[in-house]
């Protein structure tokens, strides 16, 4: 049902087209060319051979257009149901024409009305309304004893397979088949006595979570989810029974180890978490359609790994490898001199129209806009190497933020090698970093950033000599030699 809206859209477009065309209503598949409908591939081929020009019908963004047929002068729209011989004949005719660029091949999914009427329709939310009538009449039924053959007998038999107070009634019924009724009464007595919510001591509640986990682990694999559901829904009534469960040391150690490892993901004790092949998924942002998309992507990755010979335990380990390593994260201390701030919202006159009160945070703003408060609340740090092309784009983006008076304080963290052991006359990144710091200390951060962007505009490609010549022409020989010396103060 994931793609049902698109399928319904195709069906609606086809229905609107058939309102003005009676010839194609009885066809399993048909093609449209120059406003004419053709129910057979032979007639469509004859029309194409006649050299008729296309009238360029409307093509929507959700249409399936053959990849190689977009710039073709003739547009043919095919309506049909996948898997039918009629659609296969049209596809066999139009595919080579689309690959050669002679025809623009558009396919729309369409199910004839006769086929829809011959089978039950699938009721879906948003496409129909269903009226359900429920009888509210009260009926007195004696359910104290379950007769053989009753509808409720299978579910009762399923419940009698559970373990109650240490008794496995499924095993007892097999061994003592002539005492089934007595065992049923004994089990009912145990359930009633167990379900009494008797007060428990504090020491009995200490390991209740471990004991509930042990009860789930000790059940059959096919019943584990059902047992966990029953415990979570009836924990007050089952607390006394759970308090008598013995927990092995191995289970306790495993649970404690899981708690310690999950704290790295911000999951505290008693919280729920959802992992899919090592990916942590947010339960509040998960829905069935997103889950289906994730399952499809994981299945695609599994198929790709298995096709290259990775199977079994190796395949499982490969799927659970984290994509983003936690060691890739790092922090930047903005209080030091390493970060060079270009602007200051609290003191720069360009932000004089902003309100200086923090109460503005409580007021609403249009979606996608930042609150214009004259405080350094929003900070954006650009970690750049002034030589790399990607960094040049980032610096130009920082310049746009400054020019548009966006309420964001911009800081630059240069990662170029500009230490004392690096010769700035041979290292362009070190030279640009030193010139930036010099201009910033004398004229301000805005002028320094503008100097960098102007240098990039004048030099599509540059080296260390270009940087030195630019500094020499603007600041003079004495300052340039001081900036590019190995013991420069700007390091």
Confidence check: pLDDT of 161 > 60: no
pLDDT range class, residue 122, cuts 50, 70, 90: low
Full 3-state SS string of 369-425: CCCCECCCCCEEEEEECCCCHHHHHHHHHHHHHHHCCCCCEEEEEECCCCCCCCCCC
CA-based nearest residue to 21, from 7, 3, 36, 9: 36
What is the rounded CA–CA span in Å between residue 208 and residue 251? 13
pLDDT range class, residue 270, cuts 50, 70, 90: confident
CA-based nearest residue to 449, from 483, 486, 411, 418: 411
User: What's the token pair of residue 259?
Assistant: 């708690």
Q: pLDDT (tens digit, 9 = 90+) per residue, 435-461?
A: 888 888 888 888 888 888 888 888 888
What is the predicted pLDDT for the residue at 416?
Answer: 67
Output DSSP code: residue 128.
B
Confidence check: pLDDT of 313 > 80: yes
Q: Which whole number is the average pLDDT over 162-176?
A: 74
What is the rounded CA–CA span in Å between residue 28 and residue 78? 11
Q: Which whole number is the average pLDDT over 193-208?
A: 71
Q: pLDDT (tens digit, 9 = 90+) per residue, 332-359?
A: 666 667 788 899 999 998 898 898 888 8
What is the predicted pLDDT for the residue at 487?
Answer: 63
CA-based nearest residue to 163, from 244, 233, 236, 232: 244
- How many residues does this entry show for the chain? 491
Could you tell me if 483 and 490 are in contact, meaning their C-beta atoms sit under 8 angstroms apart?
yes
Task: Please give the mean pLDDT across all residues of the chain.
Answer: 79
User: What's the token pair of residue 452?
Assistant: 């960098």
Tell me the backbone φ, ψ of residue 91, rounded to 5 degrees.
Answer: -65, -40
Q: Which whole number is the average pLDDT over 163-172?
A: 72
Confidence check: pLDDT of 154 > 50: no
What is the predicted pLDDT for the residue at 409?
Answer: 92
């Amino acid at each position: 049902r994931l793609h049902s809206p698109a399928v319904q859209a195709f069906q609606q477009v086809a229905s609107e087209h058939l309102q003005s065309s009676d010839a194609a209503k009885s066809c399993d598949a048909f093609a449209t060319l120059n406003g004419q409908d053709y129910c057979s591939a032979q007639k469509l081929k004859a029309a194409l051979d006649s050299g008729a020009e296309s009238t360029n019908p409307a093509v929507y963004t959700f249409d399936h257009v053959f990849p190689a047929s977009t710039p073709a002068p003739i547009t043919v729209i095919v309506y049909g149901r996948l898997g039918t011989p009629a659609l296969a004949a049209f596809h066999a005719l139009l595919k080579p024409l689309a690959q050669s660029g002679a025809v623009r091949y558009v396919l729309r999914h369409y199910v004839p009305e006769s086929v829809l009427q011959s089978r039950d329709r699938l009721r879906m939310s948003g496409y129909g309304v269903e009226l359900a009538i429920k009888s509210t009449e009260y009926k007195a039924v004696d359910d104290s004893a379950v007769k053989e053959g009753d509808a409720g007998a299978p579910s009762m038999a399923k419940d009698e397979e559970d373990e109650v107070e240490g008794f496995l009634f499924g095993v007892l019924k097999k061994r003592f088949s002539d005492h089934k009724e007595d065992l049923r009464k004994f089990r009912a007595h145990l359930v009633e006595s167990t379900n009494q919510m008797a007060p428990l001591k504090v020491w009995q509640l200490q390991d209740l979570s471990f004991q509930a986990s042990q009860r789930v682990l000790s059940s059959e694999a096919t019943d584990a989810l059902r047992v966990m559901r029953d415990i979570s829904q009836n924990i007050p009534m089952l607390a006394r029974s759970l308090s008598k469960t013995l927990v092995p040391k191995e289970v306790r150690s495993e649970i404690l180890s899981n708690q310690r490892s999950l704290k790295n993901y911000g999951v505290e004790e008693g919280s729920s978490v959802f992992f899919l092949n090592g990916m942590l998924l947010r339960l509040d942002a998960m829905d069935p359609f997103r889950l289906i998309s994730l399952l499809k992507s994981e299945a695609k990755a599994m198929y790709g790994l298995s096709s290259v010979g990775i199977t079994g335990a190796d395949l499982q380990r490969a799927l659970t490898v984290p994509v983003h390593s936690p060691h890739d994260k790092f922090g930047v201390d903005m209080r030091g001199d390493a970060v060079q701030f270009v602007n200051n919202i609290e003191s720069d006159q360009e932000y004089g129209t902003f309100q200086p009160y923090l109460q503005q945070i409580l007021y609403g703003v249009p979606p996608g806009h930042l609150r214009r408060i004259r405080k350094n609340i929003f900070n954006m740090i650009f970690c750049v190497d002034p030589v790399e092309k990607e960094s040049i784009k980032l610096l130009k983006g920082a310049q746009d933020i400054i020019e548009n008076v966006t309420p964001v304080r911009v800081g630059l963290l240069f990662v170029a090698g500009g230490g004392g052991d690096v010769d700035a006359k041979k290292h362009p990144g070190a030279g640009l970093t030193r010139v930036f710091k010099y201009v910033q200390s004398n004229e301000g951060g805005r002028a320094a950033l503008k100097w960098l962007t102007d240098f990039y505009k004048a030099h599509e490609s540059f080296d260390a000599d270009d940087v030195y010549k630019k500094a020499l022409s603007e600041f003079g020989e004495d300052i340039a030699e001081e900036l590019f010396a190995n013991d420069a103060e700007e390091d």
